[in-house]
Chains A and B, each alone.
Chain A
Amino acid sequence: MKILAIETSCDETAAAVVEFAAAPKNEKTKKLKNNGFSVFRSLGFSVLSNVVSSQVKIHAKYGGIVPEVAARKHAENIIPVLDEALKNIKNPQKNIDAIAVTQGPGLITSLRVGVDAARTLSCAWNKPLIRVNHVVAHIYANWLAPKFPISNFPIRADNPTGRIGQFPILCLVVSGGHTLLVLMKGHGKFQIIGQTLDDAAGECFDKAAKILGLGYPGGPAIAAAAAKLPITSDQVESPRRSRDNYQLPITLPRPMLNSPDFNFSFSGLKTAVLYKIRDMKPAFSGVGDAESKHGVKTASTFITQMAAETQNAIIDVLVSKIIRAAEKYNVKTVMLGGGVTANQELRKKFAESAQKKIPDSKFYIPDSKYCTDNAAMIAVAAYFNPKKVGWNKIEPDPNLVI
């Protein structure tokens, strides 16, 4: 079965074709009826095409996504992106079995372009249309490993020992618009056990980067600035100190780190960054090399340290909450998903903590290219959660909940 998926929830126009097939005959296959779709117990799937046209450079000059620019670009890009995704599919009208599309959450003007394209194809080709929740799709990105000998649970090709996950699964979805902890007891059975009370983690990266003058998008900008850390004057003086043990002279708060619930709050962190910068400004004005009360020598060192500490603060809270939730709900599998998951430091710290503190649970992190918005994950989510909808019934929903 081939699913054509379309994703336009934010600033990425994406289309993908994913083929789901029964595993070779010698493997045990078992069909299950699931809303009219046949689900194979053991199946292999492959991403036949995965096209993403990002507008990030266009929005960078505005310091963030400008909705009407995004919608206009989606409208321009959607046909070329679909053409590219279908380029190697023979007779797509005959061979595509279903169309999947992101219904929400996201920007209404962006969502509409994808939904309209999907419903047009569904009507013209007479194919079933499946609506997908974007946040759910970020969880299903975990099923997309470099190779796909995949069952109901993710089996990573880079994990040849066959570490197969099991329900219940706990997934942390972190992106520019979302920060939530989702407990998943089965396909389609989602429960939100924690979420952000104000800003999303990705939004905090964006806003902190803006305050620090590092540009947009904030996540990669802060990560890049933080990576310069070893070249601080302190470390040159004492090269023995490894980067991981390097004690930053700046401390930012870890909001809600010790709160008993699993909610997040990142608004205060952004304000703390703002105050640190405001306090430092007098020290740097005029004198390029003045030693400040924080013991920081130059403005650029200060920005590097601020970036590193901002990143640490966000990651500490995220990792600590997901580990604690995994312990409390006694889950068998832990996953990450969403654009912020592409952050290397987060991946590293999550893997270290998971190995150390919850050794009995399997853990997964999607391939970097499937962390950010893409349509392949939409296809996989559609396959496991086939919510069919008439082409004349579907409406984009910017505030769609799980």
Chain B
Amino acid sequence: MALSGDLGSGKTIFAKGLAKTFGIDCASSPTFVLMHIHKINPKFQKTISKQIPNSKFKNLNLKSEILNLPTTLCHIDAYRLKDGGSLLEIGVDEYIGDPEVITIIEWAEKVKKILPKNTKWIYFKHHPKKENWRIIKTGV
């Protein structure tokens, strides 16, 4: 998941919110160490699984296989990076593209080159008038 937008446009809050749905409470900004790895509690994997109705699957084993329930959340901040190459140096290729890992990258436009084609892009903007409003757009 690639997040793009100015300082203070809500990327970290969005990532924190996402982490919270997986039961991770303490997701702070990884600007300094570039990457935070959070293990997802199996309890929350089940919660996610429950939210998708079983009726959609004929075979329940198939459901868990297809869903590839995530085990890990990888939170990256590319704010201080020059390009994707420097992100590869800290070993992100272990996480990006792994079906069991949800990777969420702030300032993703800086490392666009190394992101897979099926990356989900989310764009953040300050509202021109209302201070506590943000404009969020999703794209491919």
Interface residues of A (CB under 8 A from B): 10, 62-68, 71, 105-109, 176-178, 195-200, 203, 207, 210-211, 267-268, 270-271, 274-275, 398-399
Interface residues of B (CB under 8 A from A): 6-8, 12-13, 16, 26, 28-29, 31-37, 79-82, 85-86, 89-91, 126, 131
Whether A196 contacts B28 by the Cβ 8 Å rule is yes
Per DSSP, chain B at the interface is loop
Contact A64:B13 (CB < 8 A) given known A107-B33, A195-B28: no
Chain B nearest CB from A132 CB (Å) reads: 17
Whether A267 contacts B90 by the Cβ 8 Å rule is no
Contact A67:B7 (CB < 8 A) given known A107-B33, A203-B31: no
Closest to A64 in B: B80
Tell me, in angstroms, the Cα distance from A105 to B28 when the chains sit together: 14
Tell me, in angstroms, the Cα distance from A196 to B79 when the chains sit together: 19
Whether B80 contacts A67 by the Cβ 8 Å rule is yes
Chain A nearest CB from B42 CB (Å) reads: 20
Chain A residues whose CB sits within 8 angstroms of the CB of B8 once the complex forms: 267-268, 270-271, 274
Please pick, from B26, B36, B89, the residue contacting A67 in the complex, using a CB distance under 8 A: B89
Whether A267 contacts B86 by the Cβ 8 Å rule is no
Of B29, B33, B36, chain A has the most CB atoms within 10 Å of the CB of: B33
Whether A67 contacts B79 by the Cβ 8 Å rule is no
Please pick, from B80, B85, B90, the residue contacting A65 in the complex, using a CB distance under 8 A: B80
5 contacts between A and B (CB under 8 A): A62-B80, A198-B13, A200-B29, A268-B8, A398-B33
Closest CB pairs A-B (n = 10): A271-B8, A177-B32, A64-B80, A68-B86, A199-B29, A398-B33, A198-B29, A274-B8, A68-B89, A108-B90
Tell me, in angstroms, the Cα distance from A65 to B8 when the chains sit together: 20
Whether B16 contacts A198 by the Cβ 8 Å rule is yes
Tell me, in angstroms, the Cα distance from A150 to B118 when the chains sit together: 59
Chain B residues whose CB sits within 8 angstroms of the CB of A10 once the complex forms: 32
Tell me, in angstroms, the Cα distance from A210 to B6 when the chains sit together: 13
Whether A71 contacts B29 by the Cβ 8 Å rule is no
Whether A275 contacts B131 by the Cβ 8 Å rule is yes
Contact A211:B7 (CB < 8 A) given known A108-B91, A198-B12, A275-B131: yes
Tell me, in angstroms, the Cα distance from A203 to B91 when the chains sit together: 23
14 other A-B residue contacts (CB within 8 Å) besides A105-B33, A267-B29: A62-B80, A62-B82, A65-B80, A66-B81, A66-B82, A67-B34, A67-B89, A107-B32, A197-B16, A197-B28, A199-B12, A203-B29, A267-B12, A275-B131
